[in-house]
A and B are shown apart, each in its own frame.
Chain A
Amino acid sequence: MLFYEEKDARETLKLRSLKKGEYHQDYPLYTVVRDNDKCIRCLACVRQCSYEATFYDPVRNVIYNKDEACVGCLRCVAICPTDAITVKRNDTKYRENENWREETIKAIKKQADFGAARLTGLGNDKGYKIYFDHMVLDASQVTNPSIDPLREPMELRTFLGRKPDSVKVEFRNGKLHLKEKIPPQLKLEVPVIFAPMSYGSINFNFQAALAIAAREAGTYFNTGEGGLHQKLREFGSNAIVQVASGRFGVDIDYLEAAAAVEIKIGQGAKPGIGGHLPGEKVTADISRTRMIPEGSDAISPAPHHDIYSIEDLRLLIYAIKEATRYTKPVSVKIAAVHNVAAIASGIARAGADIIVIDGFRGGTGAAPTIIRDHVGIPIELAIAQVDQRLRDEGIRNWVSLIAAGGIRSSADIVKIIALGADAVYIGTAAMVAVGCTLCQQCHRGICAWGITTNRPDLAKRINVDIAAEQLYNLLRGWAIEIREMLGLMGVNSIESLRGNRLKLRGVGLTQEELDVLGIKHAGLQ
């Protein structure tokens, strides 16, 4: 906690400086307004602010804010026992300019001061068209009856993995038997998986909560590229483990522990670039889990240096399959980019069982802002194209498709499944469920909500049991909503919705967009 002390007055009450590197040519984005009549000086806000934006001055007995440090995470608002705090957008604005917007000017000023690439967390926040919000669902009326999910069975169970081209059966001893073995499958009770978030980018507590919730809800969580902590190995049957370009934490036990293995090629938030966990964040525990020396930088190269072609990818896929004796599906995760459909086709042919397409609104623990905001394509378009391409090539049944990046609600899930996905990854939504307010400071490692931080005092802000319950509740709520939506469309299983684009109509989309999505405009039969 930060207290005013005479000798440190210059530090805490620091006057704004125009010095180079001190970044004060700018106005703060937020102002914290405290109702003095309500504030009881319990100092909870001071203790909770991890961005050093809130101070207590015992001399005047007031709490004040250094607004330029405030990131608008609203932790203080949430913790204040008397609701005395409001965080407002600063009324000060640069002169209106449609071309030179505030964020652009601020970015330039900051960069002029620091001379480095700006980093950020979370997903693309720019105002690109959100196709989910331009698609509506069909409903049954009179001629085709809707189904009441409260009375009729409604199947949400989904199997992910390669499906055989045809099913051959034989009678033995009067019973029906499959003639060929079905390749390994992941069984999901809800078509939602927790997205890859590595231990390191998030803390142990949150990952443990994801694991518990996944097990409770009958689905999976993805370890990301940070390895699987020994304490979480018991959740292996609900874990999808990643093999990424850094190969962190990968050994045979890691692969054996998991339900499925995922080769991470790209990430929606930062397609084509690697990752970098600074050495100071590699604590003893993280170093053990990632299997790298304590304090050393954890660098994930941009490409896998052994994968330069589909053939190379095939080698890795089969290396993993061999290692796990063909008992686990292997998934390949790529970012949604322009030629995603062709790449997906190649991946399917390389032997992957699952393809994950990560759209450009997908989150990240840290990425250069400029890349996050300007690279990649929306997931809706990518899934529609990939699904269509795989169907056209007659290999759709070879792989399951997981859509990631920008799934915000159960409606998004229904829409993306109607566009051709089998299931979805949720990352940001999972974080929001446990407190995240999308302040986009994940890269700083001091998340006030205790999610994207490994500082022990902050990580404690996630209570594993509470967080697991919240995550489970979210999945449960979404499952109920999905059942309702299926019912009103007259569909009684999620299988029947997959790729069923007739259930979708576009609103306010151009013909080009409608063609890419493969849907009709609203109003057309």
Chain B
Amino acid sequence: MKVVFPIEERCIDCHLCEVACIVEHSETKDPILAYMVEGLSFNEEWSAFTPDPHEALEAGKPKPLNRTRVRNNGAGVSFSMMCRHCEEPKCVEACKNGSLYIAEDGRILLNEDKCVGCWMCIMACPWGAISRNPTRGNVKGLERTAISHKCDLCPDREIPACVMACPTEALIYIEKEEIKNYEVRFSR
């Protein structure tokens, strides 16, 4: 099965993968509308935690959500990390009520109507690939209960949007088995 694999030697920390992800999963699929119009319906309280708790908190403005996230150590190492669609997914094992499931093609998907926002998956996923989606809560009386939020490998696309958007080809769409042996030869 093919997944998105980040090459840290090439990541330039531009976050365009996040932009592409947001746009791809927006209603309008237009970057300006996705950010400036759709983004405004976000829950103020929860904006404090997503996509970056502290950035957004300081900004006081909610931002739309991305399913991949560029992780950065502030010293030149960065890469965009998203769901690795594990064969034995820890998140699915931890999910309280089976909202996360393995689709027939091997993708790990979330049943957004069922998720109760217990964040067992956030706890279980060692890759930090699942985030909280404050736009939606399924539990009555608990607006706080953001549901989970994760990469779905862009079902409408042949190649995920983030891979297409990456200016340095730091994200590649690759068979899982090939990742182990993948080497970037000349980048350092």
Contact = CB atoms under 8 A, between A and B. Distances in A.
B175 interface: no
Interface string B1-40: 0000000011111111011100000000001101110000
B186 A79 contact: no
A466 B31 contact: no
B187 interface: yes
Nearest to B20: A81
B59 interface: yes
B167 A205 contact: no
B78 A457 contact: yes
B187 A42 contact: no
For the residues of B in contact with A, the DSSP-based class is loop
A460 B61 contact: no
B188 interface: yes
Nearest to A38: B32
Nearest to B64: A40
A464 B170 CA distance: 11
A42 B59 CA distance: 13
A43 B15 contact: yes
Nearest to B36: A40
Contact of A40 (B32, B75, B167, B187): B32
B13 A79 contact: no
Nearest to A435: B167
A437 interface: no
A47 B11 CA distance: 12
B115 to A, nearest CB: 27
Given A47-B14, A460-B12, A463-B168, A58 B59 contact: yes
Interface string A328-360: 000000000000000000000000000000000
B16 A82 contact: no
Given A42-B18, A82-B32, A463-B168, A205 B12 contact: no
A44 B188 contact: no
Contact of B12 (A58, A461, A465): A461
A208 interface: yes
Contacts of A512: none
A205 B186 contact: yes
A466 B12 contact: no
A210 B182 CA distance: 23
Contacts of B165: 81
A82 B31 contact: yes
A48 B78 CA distance: 13
Contacts of A59: 58, 60
Contacts of B12: 48, 450, 457, 460-461
Interface string B49-76: 0000001001111010000000000011
Contacts of B36: 37, 40
Contacts of A462: 168
A425 to B, nearest CB: 22
A81 B61 CA distance: 20
Contact of A41 (B9, B35, B169): B35
Contact of B11 (A285, A455, A460): A460
A40 B35 contact: yes
Given A37-B32, A212-B186, A456-B76, A81 B60 contact: no
B169 A44 contact: no
Contacts of A40: 19, 31-32, 34-36
B61 A204 contact: no
A126 interface: no
Interface string A206-217: 001100100000
A450 B78 CA distance: 15
B188 A205 contact: yes
B187 A44 contact: no
Contacts of B16: 42, 44, 79, 81
A460 B168 contact: yes
A44 B32 contact: no
A58 B76 CA distance: 24
Nearest to B170: A463
B15 A47 contact: yes
Given A79-B167, A455-B76, A461-B168, A42 B186 contact: no
A81 B11 contact: no
A37 B32 CA distance: 8
Contacts of B60: 58-59, 61
Nearest to A79: B14
A379 B9 CA distance: 39
A129 interface: no
Contacts of A231: 186, 188
Interface string B124-144: 000000000000000000000
Nearest to B57: A58
Given A58-B59, A79-B167, A212-B186, A48 B14 contact: yes
B78 A61 contact: no
A460 B10 contact: yes
A448 to B, nearest CB: 10
Given A58-B60, A79-B167, A457-B78, A44 B10 contact: no
Interface in A224-240: 231
Interface string A452-473: 0001110111111110000000
Contacts of A463: 10, 168-170, 187
Contacts of B59: 58, 61
A455 B58 CA distance: 29
Interface string A1-28: 0010000000000000000000000000
Interface of B: 9-16, 18-20, 31-32, 34-36, 55, 58-61, 63, 75-76, 78, 165, 167-170, 184-188
23 contacts: A37-B32, A40-B19, A40-B36, A41-B63, A42-B15, A42-B18, A42-B35, A44-B15, A58-B61, A59-B60, A61-B61, A79-B16, A81-B16, A204-B186, A208-B186, A208-B187, A450-B12, A456-B76, A457-B13, A463-B10, A463-B187, A466-B168, A466-B169
Given A81-B16, A460-B76, 13 more contacts: A40-B31, A40-B34, A58-B58, A61-B60, A81-B31, A205-B187, A450-B12, A457-B12, A457-B78, A459-B188, A461-B168, A464-B186, A466-B169
